[in-house]
Every structure is written in C-alpha cells, then in structure tokens.
Structure 1
Amino acid sequence: MSKQISAEYVKELRSKTGAGMMDCKKALQASGGDMELAVENLRKKGLALADKKSTRIATEGIIESYIHSGSRIGVLVEINCETDFVARRVEFQRLAKDIAMQIVACPSVSHVSLDSISQNTIDNEAKIESDKEDLINKPNNIRNKIIAGRMEKRLKEISLLNQPFIKNPDITIEELLKQHIALLGENIKIRRFEKFLLGEGLIKKVNDFHSSIVNKS
C-alpha cells in the first residue's frame, strides 16, 4: 500500500524541482516521503528526459527583456522551444524572465555556454593566467596544473549555463533548463543574449573644478 502524501508536501517538492504534480506525488510515494531522495530522483529523471530531447530542433520561443531597478542595465535574451503552444505557457515565460534577471545579476557572464566560448577568448584567458606573477617561479608541471584549474574556473564564470540559479543556488541554469524540458516536454535552448549598460563605451566628461578656478584667476 502506497504512503499517503499531503498536497502541501507535493507542492513543496514541485517548488523545489519544477516537476509536475503527479510526478512529484509518485516520487514522494516511491521514496517513502523522503523529500531529499524524491528531489534527487526527479532531477535524474529530468536530466534523462532533457538529454533525449536536446537534439530536437527548437525554432519557436520568445525574446524576453529585463531592465534592472534604476534603468542603468538591461538585457534582451532569446529563449527557444519547439512550438508556439509551449512558448505561450506561463511556465516558459516565467523561465525566460528568470533567465533575463540571471544575466543582469551576473556581470561576468558573457557567453551562453562553455561550448560557445571562442578559441580566441580561451587563448586570451590562458595568456592572462600564465603571465600572473605568482606563477613565474613555479615548476612547469605545477604551473600548468594551476593554470588549468584557474582556466576551468574562469570559463565557468563567464558561461551562463554554469551559473548557480539566483532563486535556487542548489541548481545551475543548465539544470533549470532541463527541469523545464521535463516539465514542458520540449527541447528548450538559450540561443543568445545582449547586455546594455548605460554609458558603456562612452568617454565621460570630467569636470575639473580646481583647474577652471586656477585658469580664471
């Protein structure tokens, strides 16, 4: 006989994983009410489903925007799915808004994924690391290991999919996407994004009050 699980407990699991209500109920029953085990099992299921759908073509979706308080930074992001039906789902639109907010919250992020980072960027980052003073006198084998470790960390810092989700740091943005793939039944991809920083690239005028006073005297 399956264990009785309260609706509140099911809703709690749904909020943690984004999985459907029935899937959450079944996971809790299968785990004997163990929330952590149910979360783990649902995440594994979501990853498996997402991996199966990851090669499917996704050309529908939406372009979402987010302007941060103060209107000094904004983001446009394109999120793709397979059908217009899913693009209009509130869960998909909420995901797009969360992704836009995530990009604003991560100033170091400049690429969607590790795979989208150009070789030129990788080479430049490697040169910066190899030229750091604390590595100059290290033996080559140790120096190379340190550089490799720092490079791995640095590339993850600029990759959106590798960021901890701001609303739930226990999962990454990649895992968040996979949860929604499992929930909505379609492949979902972040195609591209653009940040807009107020005044970026402009030469700002500096008022030198001291010089102006001296010149007038």
Structure 2
Amino acid sequence: MAVTAEAVKTLRERTGAGMMECKKALVEANGDLDAAAEAMRKAGLAKADKKASRIAAEGVIVLERSADGKRAAIAEVNCETDFVAREKDFQNFANAVALAVLEKNPANVDALGSLPIDGGKSIEDTRRELIAKIGENITVRRFQVIEAPAVVGTYLHGTRIGAVVAMKSGDDAVAKDLAMHVAAINPARVSAAEVPADEVAKERSVFIEQAAQDPKNAGKPRELLEKIVEGKVRKWLNEITLLGQPFVKDDKQTVEQYLKKAGGEVLSIVRYEVGAGIEKKQEDFAEEVRKQVESSKKA
C-alpha cells in the first residue's frame, strides 16, 4: 500500500529510526502507525540482545549531588566508541541513570534497570531501545551512593574521570579541592591505617630483598638496614594514600597538612575512570587494511 510522507515523518519522530526503515515498517503494517512502531521496537530489542556480548569500554562517568550537599551518586555508563560517548542521547541516558541512583539508591544494576526514567519507561527498556537506535552495545557498569555527615565533594574531569569525597567535617570548598586531588592523583586509600596488613607485608618483603642485594648496603648493621626498609615502606604508604600525598594545588604541603590548616576530616573516597579494568580488544589497523585489500582483489 502507499505510505504518506507525513506518516513516515511521524514514525521517525516516535522511534528515532531511519526514513527507509520507517517506510518499510509502515508498508508491512498496512499503514498502522502503532503496529509499525511496536514491530520496530521488538526488532530493535532483538538487535540489542545480539549486541550484548560486544565489549563496551568507552563511555562516561556521571555525577549527581543532593541539594543539601550530603549525598552524591557516581555511575559509569559504557558504550563501544568515544564517538557515541559524545552523543546527546547517550549522555542524557547516563545523566538519567545517575539521578535515579541518587534518588532511589538501588541495591544493584538489575534493581536499577527496573527503575523508571522521568516516570516513563524503565532504565533497562530505555537502554535496550538506545542500543537499537545507536547501534552499539550500551551498559551500566557500576554505581555508588556516598553520604557524609558534613559535606560530599564531587569533581568531574571531562566525562572520563569522576571523584567523590565524603567529609566528616569541612566545607564545600575543601571537599571540592580534595575531590579534584583524588581525580588527578588517584590515591588507593585515605590513610596508611586503611592499607591491608598483607599488602604492607608484601611491599616490605620486596624492600628487604632490594636492600639485601644493593652493594651499597654491604657490611651495614642489621638495625640500619631495618631503618632503611621502614623508611621505604613509609614513603610507599605516603605515595598511595590521600593524606600522605603532596596536595595537587600546592605540592609543598601534604593533603594532611592542608586539611589541618583548612579544617576538615575525610571519611572515604571514590574514584571512577571510564573503562578501568575492562580488557579492550586490540585492533591491528594495518592488518585490517591488508585483509580488506586482499578481499577486494579476490572479488
């Protein structure tokens, strides 16, 4: 049957799909807009399921903070390419995820998926429809809600790194400074007291072996060698902990010294970076071009 341009335009606005895809769906549905839209939705969800196994290591980190400044949500939403990560619909979806996390604090990703966006479709349905529309796998990888008795500091570096600092005491300015530091320097713990004893023991054993093999230490008494080793352990602890690190805005003082002057105490820190820990597929561009050239010759 004949399909009008107006019907195609209407279906495009409803589905976000291409013109030819909309026209085909309308023809198959005998011009019924609702039936065509539903058929396209089901087809899109099927395509989304097929893309679920594809690696999504690009994306964005998103942050939301409560009006009183005492709660914040951080989330990582992934896609396959940085091009899609800059796409408006993808970023709007990611921001909606962070807001839902802040408001509802779901137990896990599955629970998050069942929450509605703006009182409409669920996050999971929206995610799958977005996959169908954009053509890439999209996942909500992780999220966390952070609360503090004083204030929660947040800092977003572009869209790829986000940090949250929970303060037991201190003001907004101090909290934001510390969140900026965490984003930039990436401390593993707040203080040396939080570093697990087995990690410390492992590093100490490495330093003991290094000291024993260093020719400069030949003939030195055991007590002196122990002091050398403990000095290296303290230096390592300062390097990996927030309080021991040189403050990013003034490296002549440590974060601990900055806090003493500014007045504040840190309870916890969270730092997300896009794709951290995801094993990315390594592409050999030259080899891919070679294969395409050989394929074209055979054709």
| Equivalent position to 2:114, from 156, 162, 168 | 162
Q: Is the 8 A contact 1:82 1:188 kept in 2?
A: yes
Q: Partner of 1:181 in structure 2?
A: 131
* Contact persistence 1:67–1:73 (CA under 8 A): yes
Q: Which amino acid aligns with 2:109?
A: V
Closer, same or farther: CA 21–70 of 1 in aligned 2, 3 Å: farther
Conserved in 2, the CA contact under 8 Å of 1:5 and 1:29?
no
1:76 aligned partner, one-letter code? I
Q: Distance in 1 between matches of 2:133 and 2:39?
A: 15
**Corresponding residue for residue 100 of structure 2:** 102
1:36-70 deviation line (CA, Å, top 9, x unaligned): 32332122111111111000111111101122444
Q: Structure 2 unaligned segments of length 5 or more: list them.
A: 151-165, 169-299
Check the 8 A contact 1:66/1:101 in 2, yes or no.
Answer: yes
Give how far 1:9 is off: 2.1
Distance 1:24 1:99 in 2: 29
The residue number in structure 2 matching 1:56 is 54
Question: 2:155: which partner in 1?
Answer: none
Match of 1:150 in 2: none
Unaligned runs of 5+ residues in structure 1 are: 114-158, 204-217
Q: What is the match of residue 11 of structure 2?
A: 10
Cα offset for 1:29?
Answer: 4.4
1:164-187 CA distance string (max 9 Å, x none): x23253x32111111111111111
State the secondary structure of the residue aligned to 2:55. coil
Give the letter for the 1:9 counterpart: T
CA distance in 2, matches of 1:172, 1:96: 13
Q: Closer, same or farther in 2 for the Cα pair 1:4/1:172, shift >3 Å?
A: same
Cα separation, 1, equivalents of 2:9 and 2:90: 24
Relative distance call for 1:5 and 1:102 in structure 2 (3 A) is farther
Task: Give the AA of the match of 1:111.
Answer: N
Q: Aligned in 2, Cα 1:67/1:40: closer, same or farther, shift over 3 Å?
A: same
Amino acid at match of 2:142: R
| TM-fit CA distance, 1:5 | 4.4
* CA distance in structure 2 between the partners assigned to 1:178 and 1:56 by the alignment: 14
The letter of the residue matching 1:63 is I
How far is 1:190 from its partner?
0.4
Q: Secondary structure of the residue that 2:93 maps to in structure 1?
A: helix
When you count strand as a share of all residues, which structure comes out higher?
2
Q: Distance in 1 between matches of 2:48 and 2:102?
A: 26
Instruction: Quote the residue 2:149 is aligned against.
Output: 199
Q: How far apart are the structure 1 equivalents of 2:69 and 2:92?
A: 21
- Describe the SS at the equivalent of 1:57: coil
Contact 1:13 1:35 in 2 (8 A): no
> How far apart, in 1, do the equivalents of 2:78 and 2:109 lie?
13
Provide the C-alpha distance between the structure 1 equivalents of 2:127 and 2:119, rounded to a whole number of angstroms: 13
Structure number with greater Rg is 2
Aligned length: 152
1:199/1:13 Cα in 2 relative to 1: closer, same or farther (>3 Å)? same
Instruction: Please show how residues 139-154 of structure 1 align to structure 2 within 5 Å.
Output: none
Distance 1:168 1:48, change over 3 A: farther
TM-score (structure 2 length as normaliser):
0.45
The alpha-carbon deviation at position 73 of structure 1 amounts to: 3.2
Percent identity between the two aligned chains: 39
